[in-house]
Amino acid sequence: MSFIDDDIRREVITEIYRQVDELDWDGMSLRERSEYYVRWIDDPLIGGKLGRFIERDRIRVWIKDGPIKELSRARHGIGSYAQFTAHQYPGMDEIARQAIGQEWRSDADTLEVKPNRCLVRGPGANALMIWGSATKLADLVWAAINARVDGGAEPIIVITSPQGTRLSDGEKQRHQLIAEVAGVELRHITLRLART
């Protein structure tokens, strides 16, 4: 891809994330999202600016493989795109407190991604908290199994759901059964986007 001026790149990503916040992106179907990729190509604040650096037929790919692909991590305050979000989910400490207990704190120095995981410390114990959405369950379980094989802190999977979305009791039960087969503890929590 061509070089994109840093200021333009920042402006475009910030605008995409601003619009995503207004759209209830998490609740949109793939078809609805696809329609927005097309709109963004013609949007003067997005495609209009990118068009000076990228061919028109590559703008959609740039948006999808960049800002949108990184949206979940950015909303969790992780990665280089986090600086562009106006709304974020609670951080690792709050996820640990909500999922495991009020005394638990994350160790930011141990953060790893794909999937998100870090060491959390509680009263007299440590755990490896592995978290993400239900759509990432296979990745979360695989990371937990590998953590058990590698030794160290006992893994705990935390399924995070954005406020306004709801997993059925059947889905939650299935997640629990999968975790039991893998020999790993699993918890469900709901996260609310808050202005940063």
Written as one string, the DSSP assignment of 101-166 is -TT-EE-GGG-BTTTEEEEEEETTEEEEEEEE-GGGHHHHHHHHHHHHHH-SSEEEEEEEEETT--
How far, in Å, CA of 196 to CA of 56, rounded? 32
Determine the pLDDT at residue 196: 79
How far, in Å, CA of 115 to CA of 184, rounded? 16
Q: How does pLDDT run across 148-162, given as a tens digit for each residue?
A: 999 999 999 999 998
- Are 123 and 152 within 8 A, CB to CB? no
Q: How does pLDDT run across 58-88, given as a tens digit for each residue?
A: 999 999 999 999 998 999 889 999 999 999 9
Determine the pLDDT at residue 2: 61
Query: Above pLDDT 90, what percent of the chain?
Result: 85
Q: Interhelix angle for 169-182 vs 137-150, to 10°?
A: 20
Determine the pLDDT at residue 1: 43
Determine the average pLDDT of the residues in 40-46: 97
User: Residue 4 above 80 pLDDT?
Assistant: yes
- Are 129 and 153 within 8 A, CB to CB? no
Contacts with 174 (C-beta within 8 Å, 6 or more apart), sequence order:
none
pTM: 0.83
